[in-house]
Structure 1
Amino acid sequence: MAFRVNPRPTGPVRVKVCGLTTEAQVEAAASAGAAYIGLVFYSRSPRSLALPVARDLALAAPVGVAKVALFVDPSDAEVDAVLDTVPIDMVQLHGHEPPDRVAEIRERWGLPVMKAVGISGPEDVARARAYEAVADQLLLDAKAPAGSTLPGGNGVSFDWGLLSGLSWSRPWMLAGGLGPRNVAEAVRVSGARQVDVSSGVESAPGIKDSDLIRAFVGAVASAR
């Protein structure tokens, strides 16, 4: 398939490393140059965190690294429990939250909200447009495979050419099946200025590998 490749970004491409579970992983991500770390609060995920652990990880993050709490169709009580305990900078919604729920969460807790949208075809890109008015950022991720119990972190990608040349009114982040070997191409094809990685830098589900994190950030830098 022929892609129209966007011009190389002139500034740095920001990296989010999601699903961190230990302080050593937080340190590895921050020292490699990640701009965001993602903490998962979804019980079905192998990266899900207990609140005391999540608090320790958030406190271990250096100043300037944004701490993102990932929820999947959360209740108000679930969000309250996390935000009352863990110092968080941004909420990520990775379920089937409609635009009005995204707006409600943003207003109720006063934090920026990143809304994830699963992409497999042009109709999904069009669906993502509905969130531009209510979310602070968009995360354009590969749609979960049939039968998966996880909305993200499945190690699958989508046709990055679907995003080539598009303009968005909000910052957006590319996710889905990214790793050190393909992220530079993904950035060049999609024009992404932000990328998210989880399973692509793991040695086993939920276990981040420091060498892979460094390799991923280095590959992102090579796409600039």
Structure 2
Amino acid sequence: MTQQPVPAAHTGVKICGLTEGAGFDACVEHGADWVGFVFFDRSPRCVTPAQARSLSGRHAGGPVRVGLFVHPDDETLARVLDGVSLDVLQIYASFERASDVSSRFGVPVWLSQPVSARPDLPSACPAGVERLLIEPKPPAGATRPGGNAQQLDWSLMQGWKPSFPWMLAGGLNPENVGQAVTITGAPAVDVSSGVESAPGLKSPEAIARFIRNARSVTFSA
């Protein structure tokens, strides 16, 4: 039997695309590591800085606050950061742009890395980027680069052991997240539509199950 990679002792969990209080409260209650606010107007989960600030203000501590942006210009980033305090900027952009954003704004940057085959897996993380998000390339005709509930072929990641922090995204839900972590050894996972009862509306019960199942993976010697 092929030995599976061993994930971190605590599989990190990010719940993305929060738009309402019940979902945010469930993330706090069940111990999500990160919560994500989407600042991309083509997404059904898009929020304004004021809405994100209101949600974040429901709990002073708790999960790290992440803002998601798609090819943002400096003006957009500055406007959002002026309206809500964010701990991380998660962006879709080039390696060069990601490094530039990190140096300009002094906020940790995560960069999306869409893949469809083994050769697409990155061998290094760009300077200034704290973490890479490994997710499927969007389908033809998609209006969004992510959040399409598309599942990656996890088997292409078997034996891939990067030296930098990364996170698995794409098509995850409470039923399959344990298998995904088992196969890929992902140290952290990101979910949005997989814990929703409707686009943009999170299910507290699904959030609880997702977090529990993501952290329940065990490995035999």
The TM-score range, normalised by the shorter chain, is over 0.9
* Consecutive unaligned residues in structure 2, runs of 5 or more: none
CA contact (8 A) 1:199 1:206 kept: yes
* Consecutive unaligned residues in structure 1, runs of 5 or more: none
| Whole-angstrom distance in 1 between the partners of 2:184 and 2:217 | 11
**Which of the two has greater helix per residue?**
1
Question: Secondary structure in 2 aligned to 1:74?
Answer: coil
Residue in structure 2 matched with residue 37 of structure 1 by the alignment: 35
| Counterpart amino acid of residue 148 in structure 1 | A
Residue in structure 2 matched with residue 124 of structure 1 by the alignment: 120
Match for residue 195 of structure 1 among 176, 189, 205: 189
Q: Deviations over 1:160-199 (max 9, x none)?
A: 1222222223210000000011100000000001000001
Let me know the Cα RMSD of the aligned residues: 1.6
CA contact (8 A) 1:34 1:65 kept: yes
Is 2:221 aligned against 1:221? no
Is 2:52 aligned against 1:54? yes
| Whole-angstrom distance in 2 between the partners of 1:4 and 1:138 | 26
CA contact (8 A) 1:8 1:223 kept: no
TM-score with structure 1 setting the length: 0.92
CA contact (8 A) 1:5 1:188 kept: no
1:30 positional shift: 1.5
Question: Secondary structure in 1 aligned to 2:123?
Answer: helix
Q: How does 1:71-86 map to 2 (within 5 A)?
A: 71-86=69-84
Q: Deviations over 1:19-62 (max 9, x none)?
A: 00012211111211100000000000000001211111122244
Residue in structure 2 matched with residue 179 of structure 1 by the alignment: 173
Q: Deviations over 1:44-89 (max 9, x none)?
A: 0000001211111122244141000000000100000000110100
Is 2:6 aligned against 1:17? no
Cα distance change, pair 10–153 in 1 and its aligned pair in 2 (3 A)? closer
TM-score with structure 2 setting the length: 0.93
